[in-house]
Structure 1
Amino acid sequence: MNFIEKDKKLRFVRGLLAFYPLVTDPKTLIELDGWLKSVIKRAIRERNRLIAGQGLDPSKLYAVTENELLDGSWYKADVPNESILPSFVRGWRAARKFYKRYGLSEIQSPSYYTAISRYT
């Protein structure tokens, strides 16, 4: 987010993100964001069902709102972790901005798509 909103330079763009600047319409990425959110919400619901079914400590259940899931505020632990829900659209915005600002020379193609990767 710092790169998108505050112009802090990304160290690199590589892997799948290297292809993101080629996307011109984020509609599919928006749908993927919705899919990811839905899958995580269902996983939390299933986790809660399994914990409750085992008669385990109810304090282990998560009551996560959509906003908490998106902004990461649901995560409260002593171990610091990045808990903001990843976003395909946010990645796309950052990759496109990076590409427009620094060009292709700064973008590393994924090693699995380069000929040299067969020999390394």
Structure 2
Amino acid sequence: GLLMTPVRLTQWRSDIGKCVTPDGVPWGAKVENIVGRNCFGSDASSRRSFGPDEKYVFEHNKNFQAVRGLFASYGDYSGGFTQTLSRNSTEAQASLAEMKRDNWIDEASRAVLVDFG
């Protein structure tokens, strides 16, 4: 199948070293319950490359408009970690499978925007 417009996934990430749980325990410590961790605010954001061989790189886009969520605004740095999927569904599925293997979404993920063109 063929997608009509390319799908773009944009992720914003936290610097998990700056995240704390409600008890004030640094995120790097072993924490059984991760719900309620505080990773919001621009000082907790990360633009550091990640994934195998750090292949996922923060992309600046001066035309990007910040997205407002329930807890925070995302994209304040005019960009994010963006993956544009192929318009060919077989290739798009292969890209998604690779992203899953690479843990593209992990504990440092703050938000993911799915843009359908």
Q: What is the TM-score normalised by the length of structure 2?
A: 0.25
Larger radius of gyration: 1
Comparing both structures, which one devotes a greater share of its residues to strand? Answer: 2
Q: What is the TM-score normalised by the length of structure 1?
A: 0.24
